[in-house]
Amino acid sequence: MPVKLPLLSATAADTPIAWRRNRPIGRAAFLRHVGAVARRLSPARFIFNLCEDRYLFLVAFAAVGANGQTSLLPSSRAQLHLRDLAEEYPDNHRLTDNDVESWLAPEAMDGDAVPVIPTLPADQVMAVAFTSGSTGRAKPHPKRWGELVSGARQARQRFGFESGMTVVATVPAQHMYGLETTIMTPLASGASIHAGRPFFPEDVRAALESVPPPRVLVTTPVHLRACVQAELRWPAMAFLISATAPLAATLAERAETAFGAPVLEIYGCTEAGSIASRRTLDGERWRLYDGFSLRDGALFGAHLPEPVPLSDELELRDEAGFRLLGRLGDLVNIAGKRTSLGYLNHQINQIAGVVEGVFWLPDDTGSEVQRLMAVAVAPDLSERQILAALAERLDPVFLPRPLLKVERLPRNETGKVTRETLLALIGSAATVRQGRS
């Protein structure tokens, strides 16, 4: 007999699973909503879950799984990206907020009978998650129900997610980080979620204020920096979680002061999900989740069906701890001289007047010497001034050609700058410059 696991953890039926439009939604009502949506779903094998409302995403995700179908979680909403995925998964149907909202039965909020909690095969492919595409084309990674549940239980053990706790998040549910912390967490524990995805600091503050304590903010370094710089009065917090990029200790210190709560980080990847955590101010050591081990650049154990090679270079400190050294693809060798993109990014961001900057190495064009490229947000500096400051810090072979000044970096929904958008940015800038000449 195949192993089956419940869709929802055993918690009181009236315990909120979500807060939407300032109202709590109990778990019994949630199960009725899941049933209503499941009955109306297209019979397609794959369902694009494009819901932006986090509660509607949660209902759709659960309904798709209860029907034995698979959710597709695209890393971008760009029409070209969705079209490419639709060609790779032809038996598909798209699901939006409007679709799910129209199927929610009004009577689902009422009623005495508590619906039966569905059980799903542990080996059922619940979703296909895609990499962000920050280093190239987005790659698919099937996620089985048993793996997702195991990962959620590990996170619950590590962070103490419990009944009564409410999670507010700035990250999309389609991203692996968002899926684990804001979708699997309420399914696998008594915690609840805020249905929105606030973006601006005041929206984040209002969302936190609208839910009862203890509150948790799930966010990224980009959003966290904006919240700290806004200098708002924040409601009482249990803790904050950041991921998608390592957090600078200076920013973590400012955030802990501003929010009056510890700032924790998650380390993970789409391939394996979350695998380790740390409190930034406690130092560089990351602590693996229980059951995982690292060996020869790969991750073993826990719920992984097979070892997962990691794209980062890690330095083992002990059996359960490591230090993050950087991405394996981060090294740059130009004219026989070596450095790393991480080092170059650090140098450009240390220049007074540079708000944000990023280097990258374009594809090999076949010329004798490859050239780095960079973009920077620096309202009060010219490109010439930025290059002059870089020339004081870097060997001439590492100076970017071109360096482009922009109003803002082209970040995706999780705050990452993808290679594709950078190349498009440089291409459009070159076209504009040619038109002026």
- List the domain boundaries for the chain: 4-326, 335-436
Of 269-273, 308-312, 367-371, 392-396, the range with the lowest mean pLDDT is 367-371
Confidence band for 89, pLDDT divided at 50, 70 and 90? very high
Contact 5, 153 (CB under 8 A): no
List, for residues 215-242, the tens digit of each pLDDT value: 999 999 889 989 999 999 999 999 999 9
Axis-axis angle for helices 221-230, 201-209 (nearest 10): 90
pLDDT, position 356: 87
List, for residues 326-344, the tens digit of each pLDDT value: 766 677 777 666 777 877 8
Q: How far apart are CA 129 and CA 151, in angstroms?
A: 15
Give whole-number Cα distances, 262 to 85, 265, 281, 387, in Å.
39, 10, 9, 38
Contact 201, 228 (CB under 8 A): no
Q: What is the CA radius of gyration of the chain?
A: 23
Q: Which residue has the tokens 């706790």?
A: 165
Identify the CATH assignment for 335-436 out of 3.30.300.30, 3.40.190.10, 3.30.499.10, 3.40.710.10.
Answer: 3.30.300.30
With pLDDT > 70 as the criterion, what percentage of the chain qualifies? Answer: 90
pLDDT, position 335: 62
pLDDT, position 37: 95
Residues 6+ apart with CB under 8 A from 297: 309, 310, 313, 314, 328
pLDDT, position 368: 47
List, for residues 114-147, the tens digit of each pLDDT value: 789 999 999 999 999 987 655 456 789 999 999 9
Confidence band for 76, pLDDT divided at 50, 70 and 90? confident
List, for residues 250-273, the tens digit of each pLDDT value: 899 999 999 999 999 999 988 999
Q: Which residue has the tokens 């190349």?
A: 423
| Geometric angle at alpha carbon 196, from 11 and 261, rounded to 5° | 75
pLDDT of 423 strictly over 90: no
| Superfamily name and number for 4-326 | ANL, N-terminal domain (3.40.50.12780)
Report the candidate in 388, 406, 390 with the shortest Cα–Cα distance to residue 398.
390
57 three-state secondary structure = helix
Average pLDDT value for residue range 201-210: 97
Average pLDDT value for residue range 12-23: 91
For strand 4-6 and strand 331-334, is the pairing parallel, antiparallel, or unpaired? unpaired
Phi, psi (degrees; rounded to nearest 5) at 44? -55, 150
Axis-axis angle for helices 27-40, 54-66 (nearest 10): 60
5 three-state secondary structure = strand
pLDDT, position 77: 81
Q: How far apart are CA 238 and CA 227, in angstroms?
A: 17
Contact 353, 380 (CB under 8 A): yes
pLDDT, position 366: 44
pLDDT, position 30: 94
Token readout for 73 is 């979680």
The side-by-side arrangement of strands in the sheet containing 308-309 is 292-295, 298-301, 308-309
pLDDT, position 112: 63
